[in-house]
Amino acid sequence: MSTVKKDYKRITTRSLVEMKSNGEKISMVTAYDYTMAQMVDKAGVDVILVGDSASNVMAGHETTLPITLDQMIYHASSVVRGAKRSLVVVDLPFGSYQSDPKEALRSAIRIMKESGGHSIKLEGGSEIKDSIKKILNAGIPVMGHLGLTPQSIYKFGTYTVRAKEEEEAQKLIKDALFLQKAGCFAVVLEKVPAKLAQQVAQQLTIPVIGIGAGKVDGQVLVVNDLLGMTHEFNPRFLRRYLNLHELITNAVGQYVSDVKEEDFPNENEQY
Ligand code: KIV
């Protein structure tokens, strides 16, 4: 069971920074729809990430690149309606913030206005510093994301662990410090060595939330992976808490057979 140090009625960006200073770990999972958001919120998750991983797990794309701003807004507005306590963070999708700071701000404003989300997340460090500052200056909270940044998969060419070499590790530390100084409220570190992630978490006062980054200030997983709805994705960092793929396939299989055998509906299941 998790160690809760303070009972928050509604999680804010400030609560997360407070949790870090109180030594309380932060739980974060993705959700993309109203029903799932209701369940993970009720389970007590601190942050719901409307991740651009929706592109993979909801739409079946190979990468996160195809999802559009309109599609992210659709998913996010559904999640917001289901989240009563959790902080809702929404990914800015690929192509909506990299070209120039004005476009980045326009995209972030659309997310906040049209979905009702509480903050945005974007991938990258100093190379997009003007966009990050512009969004923050408009009063929009920003969560950073460093390490394996899936929107750059075609640059990396592989989903293997990032920042194993000294030069990339040093850049990551510099970028994390930049994100904190710029005013970001948290940083996600994806698939980097645990020792490096720990070093970053110790240097920052804002929370570092890891996925495949060892024990830091919090953890994030894609909910479809955590629940075993996906079954072909098996990275070392993933802990599956259910095998919903099998449970759902078997349950629906039973329904199909009940229909075929005219067992469903029975006398009590009709008017
Ligand atoms: O889109 C996503 O689900 C993410 C998490 C993996 C951090 O960015």
pLDDT one-digit tens code per residue, 131-178? 999 999 999 999 999 999 999 999 999 999 999 999 999 999 999 999
Asked if the model's pLDDT at residue 98 lies above 70, the reply is: yes
Protein residue closest via CA to atom 4 of ligand 1: 51
Q: Which pLDDT score is estimated for 3?
A: 79
Q: Would the CB of 123 count as within 6 Å of ligand 1?
A: no
β-sheet bridge partners, residue 221: 29
Q: Are 110 and 90 in contact (CB under 8 A)?
A: no
Q: Are 111 and 92 in contact (CB under 8 A)?
A: yes
pTM: 0.97
Among the listed residues 175, 143, 148, the one whose alpha carbon sits nearest the alpha carbon of residue 63: 148
- Residue 171 CB: number of other CB atoms within 10 A? 16
Q: Are 208 and 230 in contact (CB under 8 A)?
A: no
Question: How many domains does one find in the chain?
Answer: 2
262 has catalytic annotation: no
Q: Which pLDDT score is estimated for 6?
A: 87
Handedness of CA 144, 145, 150, 152 (dihedral sign): positive
Q: What is the pLDDT of residues 204-262, one digit of tens each?
A: 999 999 999 999 999 999 999 999 999 989 999 999 999 999 999 999 999 999 999 99
Asked if the model's pLDDT at residue 4 lies above 90, the reply is: no
Q: What is the pLDDT of residues 38-84, one digit of tens each?
A: 999 999 999 999 999 999 999 999 999 999 999 999 999 999 999 99
Residue 53 Cα to ligand 1 middle (Å): 6
Is 46 found in the same domain as 124?
A: yes
What atom in ligand 1 is closest to the CA of residue 53? Answer: 1
Question: Domain of 121?
Answer: 13-240
pLDDT bucket at 268, cuts 50 / 70 / 90: very high
Is 87 found in the same domain as 197?
A: yes
Q: Which pLDDT score is estimated for 1?
A: 44
Is 255 found in the same domain as 167?
A: no
Protein residue closest via CA to atom 8 of ligand 1: 51
Scanning 23-137, the segments in alpha helix (DSSP H) are: 34-42, 54-57, 69-82, 101-115, 129-137
Q: Which pLDDT score is estimated for 146?
A: 98
Query: Does residue 87 belong to any structural domain of this protein?
Result: yes
Is 229 found in the same domain as 258?
A: no
Is 86 found in the same domain as 197?
A: yes
Query: Does residue 25 belong to any structural domain of this protein?
Result: yes
